[in-house]
Amino acid sequence: MAEFTMELNDEQKEVRDWLHGFAADVIRPAAAEWDEREETPWPVIQEAAKVGIYSLDFYAQQYFDSTGLGIPMAMEELFWGDAGIALSIVGTGLAAVGVLANGTEEQIGTWIPQMYGDANDVKVAAFCSSEPDAGSDVSSMRTRAVYDEAKDEWVINGTKTWATNGGIANVHVVVAVVDPELGSKGHASFIVPPGTPGLAQGQKFKKHGIRASHTAEVVLDNVRVPGSCLLGGKERLDERLARAREKAKAGGERVKNAAMATFEASRPAVGAMAVGTARAAYEVALDYARTREQFGRPIIDNQGVAFQLADMRTQIDAARLLVWRASWMAVNGKPFTAAEGSMSKLFASETAKTVTAQAIQILGGNGYTREYPVERMHRDSAIYTIFEGTSEVQRLVIARTLAGMPIR
């Protein structure tokens, strides 16, 4: 077990500086253009693939970093560059985590490479869980998967929404109900291979922020996938469902479902994304306050501005501490006895909204225009308090954990 530390080792510092350089030289110069276009920045993703950032190998190296700091460090630097483009680069990771968390070794080896493609032919993947009537309330999910034993196939019907890369993905990971009587415990995850008939993109959303990231509905109409596409396999699913039925009869504790397992593993990473956006806005505001003069002196000499910057920096550092702690705990198998993962996501996401708003205030009228990036950063920051569990849901998770109550 690696000891918890706030000091990156030499190798991690080298990776951090490399990522920072890519974010500064490639992502930031393209940010405004792709935000306006509201399109997937394929050229930037391809550049990331060419240098090795958008790849299974890089993601795995950071994911299996024994200190737990690889992923949050990488997320912070990329999202410091731009949230929309960074999400296009890392969005495939949520689907990959879904396979890593629930799949067999064979499934991991077969499907994750197909999610990324290669530098000459980049691909993306989508994790499809939310539905029009089932976002944070996963127990209300209606997408159904029925097993056709004669053909050893699963037939999936339903509509997913808010899917990053939905419809344009090479591989879709879809969460569906296999036993409606078990509620959220009767869910399973499925791979939908590329070119599978019946899967189509629905509405593409025009968003307030992260506009370079593709977000859309995914419609599944009698989608048939082989039995081998059930993550974890049929035998493991049957065993899990049998245990859930026994616990339901006995009134026992709840068990985790596939979607919740994926979200729990990714929440500190979302916190790190928020830290990156907050840090970027803070740095713009700090530089502006040092160089902008009013009444013959830099505005940072005014206590009202200086105190705002002091609060911004304090909140950012505190958010990073929570994110790194949760990431270290997750990698080292430490139980989240106080919902530390949700704490990190909650505090970091709220910090991003607060800090970006303060940055606009410090820049004044300039901050409200698209001539300066803090306007875009403020729009982007709103998503952190919404996706992968709203701030209200994070507070609910934390409160129920502290009270010793089950998480629904």
Instruction: Please report the DSSP string for 344-399 in residue order.
Output: HHHHHHHHHHHHHHHHHHHHGGGGGSTTSTHHHHHHHHGGGGTTTS-HHHHHHHHH
| DSSP per position, 221-286 | EEEEEEGGGBTT-HHHHHHHHHHHHHHHHHT------HHHHHHHHHHHHHHHHHHHHHHHHHHHHH
The residue behind tokens 């089950």 is 406
**How sure is the predictor about 408, in pLDDT bands with cuts at 50, 70 and 90?**
low
Q: What is the mean pLDDT of residues 14-28?
A: 98
Residue-wise pLDDT for 119-161, tens only, equals: 999 999 999 999 988 666 666 899 999 999 999 999 999 999 9
| Residue from 181, 340, 388, 392 carrying the catalytic annotation | 388
**How sure is the predictor about 376, in pLDDT bands with cuts at 50, 70 and 90?**
very high
Query: Is the separation of the CB atoms in 159 and 218 below 8 Å?
Result: yes
Distance CA 244, CA 248 (A): 6
Q: What is the mean pLDDT of residues 9-14?
A: 94
- pLDDT at residue 262 is higher than 70: no
**How sure is the predictor about 224, in pLDDT bands with cuts at 50, 70 and 90?**
very high
**How sure is the predictor about 63, in pLDDT bands with cuts at 50, 70 and 90?**
confident
Q: What is the mean pLDDT of residues 14-26?
A: 97
Residue 84, helix vs strand vs coil: helix
Q: What is the mean pLDDT of residues 299-325?
A: 97
- pLDDT at residue 98 is higher than 50: yes
Query: Is the separation of the CB atoms in 154 and 148 below 8 Å?
Result: yes
The Cα diameter of the chain in Å comes to 82
Phi, psi dihedral angles at 297 (to 5 degrees):
-150, 155
239 has catalytic annotation: no
Q: 127 exposed, middle or buried (CB, 10 Å; 0-12, 13-18, 19+)?
A: buried
Residue-wise pLDDT for 191-218, tens only, equals: 999 999 999 999 999 999 999 999 999 9
Contacts of 285 (CB under 8 A, 6+ apart): 308, 309, 312, 358, 359, 362, 363, 374
- pLDDT at residue 1 is higher than 60: yes
Q: List beta partners, residue 175.
A: 189
- pLDDT at residue 263 is higher than 80: no
Phi, psi dihedral angles at 179 (to 5 degrees):
-140, 95
Q: Which of 108-112, 190-194, 340-344, 402-406 is predicted with the least confidence, judged by mean pLDDT?
A: 402-406
